[in-house]
C-alpha cells in the first residue's frame, strides 16, 4: 500500500466515523420535522427561551474559562514540576469525571444549602469538568518538547514569561480542544443543574421529554442546542486554524527537567489539596456519610461485583474503540487540514452537546430499524458509549498528533517503510500519551453513563451507575453509596496505571530495541 492509498483509506474511515457520529443529529432533525411549525414556534418563543439562552451561554462562558484555568494550572504542576506526591495527584485529580453528577449535586446542596443559581451551577460544573481540560493538556505537556522551554529559560526569561510565550502555544490544541468539549458538555448537562435549581436549555428539553412524554418536541427544542454547538465548533476552529503547535525535537522527546518548586511546593501542594478536597473530597465524604448512616434500604441490592464487572466489561472496550476510531480522524485533520476535512472533524463533536435522552432514543431508533439483532446487546451499548464519548477521545488524540513530527514519518516513508509500519513504529509511540488520555477520558465518562445505559443495557443486567440510580432514586442513599464508592475505586485504576506507564521514556513505551 503506497502513501496515497493509505491517505485515501484514512479519509474513508474518517468519513465513516463522522457519518456514524452524525446519526443522533439525523434522528433529532427527523423527529423535529414531525412537529408542526406552530408547535415549534410556541415552544421556542415562550418567554422562558430568552432567559434560557442567556443562562446557557453565561454558564458555558464562566465554566469554560474556569476549567481552562484549573485544568492548565493543575496539568503544568503535575507534569512540569517536582510537586511532592505527583504520582498520586495525577491519579486523583481526574476522579471528578467518575463522580455521578447526582452525587456531586447532592453533596454540595447538603454541605452548602445556599448554593444556588448561576454561581452554584458554575461551581459544581467547574469542579466536575476541569479534567476534560486537564487530561489532554497534561498529555500534551508530556509530548511537547521541553527543550524549547529550557532554552527560553536559559536565555533568562522568567517562568511566567516562558509559560505564556513557549508552553501555552505548545499546549494550544489540547487546551482549545478541552475547552470545546467542556462548552459542549455544558450545553447538554442536566442532572447537576436540576439539583442546584439552574435552568438551561437542556433542563427544558428534559422536562419536555420527561413530563410531557414528548420526544418530538424535545428534539425540536434541541435544534437550538445544535446551533449553539455549531457556533462553539466554528469558534474553536477559527482559534485553532493557521497556528502550528510546538513539536518535539526530531530526536524524540525526553522527560523534561522538572521545575524545582522549592518553597513554592507548600502553596502548590495546598492548592492541589484544596482542589482535591472540593472536587473529590466533598462528594467522597458524602458517599462515606451515606455508608455509615446504616439506613435500611427497601430495594434489593444488586451484586456489587456483578455490577462492577458489567461496568468494566462495557466501558473498557468502548474506551479502546473510541481511541482507535479517533486515530484516523486526528491523523486526517492534523496532516491534511483542508476545508472538507475540517467539516468532517467538526461533525463528530456535535453529539457531545446534545441532551442525553435524545441521543439515547436515537440509538433505539437506528438499532430497531437497521440492527434489531443487536438491540439491547452488550455490543450495542459498547458502540453507543464509543459514539457518546468519541469527541473526548478525538481532542486528546488530535492534540498529541499535532506534536508528532511529520518529518519523521516522511523520512521513514522515503526509506521505503510502508505507511502501516510508519504508523506503528513512529507515529503511535509518539502519540501514546494522547491515546492514553483519550482512553482514560472515555473510560471515566462511560463508567458513570446512565441515560443511554438504562435504555440499551441487556434486560436484567446492571452497571454500577444503574444500580446506584435504582437505590438513589428511591432515597435509599445508604444502599446506593457502595456502588458510588466502587465507581471511585474503578476510576482510580486507569489513572494510576496509565500515569505510571506514561512516565516512562518513549523508547521504553514502544518496547522495541
Partner 1 sequence: MIRQFLAAALGTIMAAGALAGCGGVLDAAAGQAQAITLYNGQHEETSQALASAFTRQTGIAVKIRSSDEAALAQQIEQEGQASRADVIFTENSPALEALQNKHLLETVPAATLAGVPTAYDSPRGAWVGVSARVSVLVYNTRNLSSRQLPTSVMQLAGPAWRGKLALAPGETDFQPVVTSIATAYGRRAALRWLHAIKANAAGHVYPDNETVTADVNSGQAQIGIINHYYWYRLKYEIGAARIHSALALFAAADPGYVLDVSGAAVLRSSRHRSAAQRFLAFLVSKQGQEIIVKSDSFEYPLGAGMDPSPTAHGMTPFNQLHPNPIGIAALGDGSAALDLLQQAQIL
Return residues touching partner 1 (CB under 8 A).
Answer: 46-48, 113, 116, 194-195, 197, 204, 207-215, 293, 295-300, 309-310, 312-314, 316-317, 357, 360-361, 364-365, 368, 372, 375-378, 451, 454-455, 458-460, 470, 473-478, 493, 496-497, 500-501
Q: How far apart are CB 193 and partner 1 at their closest, in Å?
A: 9
What is the separation of C-alpha 345 from the centre of its chain, rounded to a whole number of angstroms?
16
Q: How far apart are CB 35 and partner 1 at their closest, in Å?
A: 14
Q: How far apart are CB 436 and partner 1 at their closest, in Å?
A: 11
Only one residue has cell 439506613, namely: 295
Q: Using CA atoms, how far apart are residues 179 and 294, in angstroms rounded to an integer?
A: 41
Q: Using CA atoms, how far apart are residues 404 and 429, in angstroms rounded to an integer?
A: 9
Q: How far apart are CB 94 and partner 1 at their closest, in Å?
A: 16
Residues in the chain: 513
Cβ-Cβ contacts under 8 Å for 482 (sequence gap 6 or more): 291, 304
- Secondary element (H or E) of residue 500: helix 477-502
Q: Counting beta carbons within 10 angstroms of the beta carbon of residue 156, is it exposed (0 to 12), middle (13 to 18) or buried (19 or more)?
A: exposed
Q: How far apart are CB 105 and partner 1 at their closest, in Å?
A: 9
Q: Using CA atoms, how far apart are residues 6 and 17, in angstroms rounded to an integer?
A: 16
Q: How far apart are CB 312 and partner 1 at their closest, in Å?
A: 5
List the one residue out of 208, 163, 171, 206 whose CA is nearest residue 188. 206
- Of 23 and 313, nearer to partner 1 (C-beta) is 313
- Of 69 and 493, nearer to partner 1 (C-beta) is 493
Could you give the angle at the alpha carbon of 76 between the alpha carbons of 130 and 448, nearest 5°? 30
- Of 146 and 357, nearer to partner 1 (C-beta) is 357
Q: How far apart are CB 148 and partner 1 at their closest, in Å?
A: 31
Strand partners for 81: 259
- Of 432 and 455, nearer to partner 1 (C-beta) is 455
Q: Are 55 and 200 in contact (CB under 8 A)?
A: yes
Q: Counting beta carbons within 10 angstroms of the beta carbon of residue 134, is it exposed (0 to 12), middle (13 to 18) or buried (19 or more)?
A: buried
DSSP state, 81? B
Q: How far apart are CB 67 and partner 1 at their closest, in Å?
A: 24
How would you write 395-457 as a 3-class SS string?
Answer: HHHHHHHHHCCHHHHHHHHHCCCCHHHHHHHHHHHHHHHHHHHHHHHHHHHHHCCCHHHHHHC
Q: How far apart are CB 170 and partner 1 at their closest, in Å?
A: 28
Q: Are 436 and 501 in contact (CB under 8 A)?
A: yes
- Of 234 and 493, nearer to partner 1 (C-beta) is 493
Q: How far apart are CB 321 and partner 1 at their closest, in Å?
A: 13
List the one residue out of 447, 401, 182, 438 whose CA is nearest residue 321. 438
Amino acid at each position: 500500500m503506497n502513501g496515497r492509498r493509505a491517505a485515501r483509506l484514512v479519509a474513508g474511515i474518517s468519513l465513516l466515523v463522522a457519518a456514524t457520529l452524525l446519526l443522533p443529529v439525523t434522528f433529532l432533525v427527523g423527529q423535529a420535522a414531525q412537529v408542526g411549525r406552530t408547535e415549534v414556534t410556541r415552544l421556542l418563543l415562550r418567554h422562558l427561551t430568552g432567559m434560557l439562552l442567556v443562562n446557557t451561554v453565561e454558564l458555558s462562558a464562566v465554566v469554560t474559562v474556569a476549567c481552562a484555568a484549573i485544568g492548565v494550572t493543575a496539568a503544568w504542576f503535575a507534569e512540569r514540576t517536582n510537586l511532592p506526591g505527583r504520582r498520586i495527584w495525577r491519579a486523583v485529580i481526574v476522579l471528578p469525571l467518575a463522580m455521578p453528577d447526582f452525587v456531586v449535586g447532592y453533596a454540595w446542596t447538603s454541605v452548602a444549602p445556599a448554593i444556588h443559581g448561576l454561581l452554584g451551577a458554575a461551581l459544581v460544573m467547574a469542579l466536575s469538568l476541569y479534567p476534560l481540560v486537564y487530561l489532554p493538556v497534561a498529555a500534551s505537556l508530556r509530548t511537547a518538547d521541553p527543550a524549547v522551554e529550557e532554552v527560553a529559560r536559559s536565555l533568562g526569561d522568567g517562568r511566567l514569561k516562558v509559560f505564556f510565550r513557549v508552553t501555552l502555544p505548545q499546549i494550544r490544541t489540547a487546551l482549545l480542544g478541552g475547552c470545546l468539549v467542556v462548552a459542549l458538555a455544558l450545553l447538554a448537562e442536566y442532572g447537576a443543574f436540576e439539583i442546584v435549581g439552574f435552568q438551561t436549555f437542556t433542563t427544558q428539553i428534559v422536562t419536555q421529554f420527561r413530563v410531557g412524554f414528548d420526544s418530538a418536541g424535545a428534539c425540536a427544542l434541541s435544534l437550538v442546542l445544535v446551533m449553539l454547538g455549531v457556533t462553539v465548533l466554528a469558534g474553536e476552529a477559527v482559534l485553532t486554524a493557521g497556528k502550528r503547535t510546538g513539536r518535539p525535537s526530531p530526536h524524540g522527546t525526553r522527560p523534561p527537567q522538572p521545575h524545582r518548586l522549592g518553597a513554592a511546593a507548600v502553596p502548590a501542594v495546598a492548592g492541589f489539596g484544596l482542589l482535591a478536597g472540593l472536587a473529590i473530597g466533598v462528594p467522597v465524604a458524602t458517599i462515606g456519610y451515606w455508608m455509615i448512616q446504616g439506613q435500611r434500604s427497601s430495594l434489593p441490592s444488586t451484586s456489587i461485583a456483578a455490577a462492577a464487572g458489567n461496568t468494566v466489561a462495557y466501558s473498557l472496550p468502548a474506551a479502546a474503540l473510541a481511541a482507535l476510531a479517533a486515530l484516523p480522524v486526528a491523523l486526517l485533520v492534523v496532516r491534511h487540514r483542508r476545508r472538507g476535512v475540517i467539516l468532517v472533524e467538526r461533525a463528530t463533536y456535535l453529539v457531545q452537546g446534545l441532551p442525553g435522552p435524545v441521543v439515547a432514543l436515537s440509538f433505539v431508533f437506528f438499532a430497531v430499524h437497521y440492527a434489531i439483532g443487536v438491540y439491547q446487546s452488550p455490543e450495542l451499548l459498547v458502540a453507543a458509549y464509543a459514539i457518546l464519548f468519541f469527541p473526548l477521545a478525538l481532542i486528546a488524540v488530535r492534540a498529541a498528533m499535532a506534536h508528532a513530527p511529520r518529518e519523521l514519518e516522511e523520512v521513514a516513508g522515503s526509506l521505503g517503510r510502508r505507511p502501516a509500519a510508519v504508523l506503528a513504529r513512529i507515529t503511535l509511540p509518539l502519540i501514546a500519551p494522547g491515546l492514553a488520555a483519550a482512553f482514560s477520558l472515555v473510560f471515566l465518562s462511560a463508567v458513570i453513563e446512565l441515560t443511554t445505559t438504562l435504555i440499551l443495557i441487556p434486560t436484567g443486567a446492571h452497571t454500577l451507575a444503574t444500580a446506584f440510580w435504582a437505590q438513589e432514586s428511591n432515597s435509599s442513599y445508604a444502599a446506593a453509596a457502595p456502588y458510588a464508592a466502587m465507581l471511585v475505586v474503578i476510576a482510580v485504576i486507569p489513572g494510576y496505571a496509565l500515569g505510571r506507564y506514561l512516565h516512562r521514556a518513549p523508547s521504553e513505551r514502544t518496547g522495541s530495541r
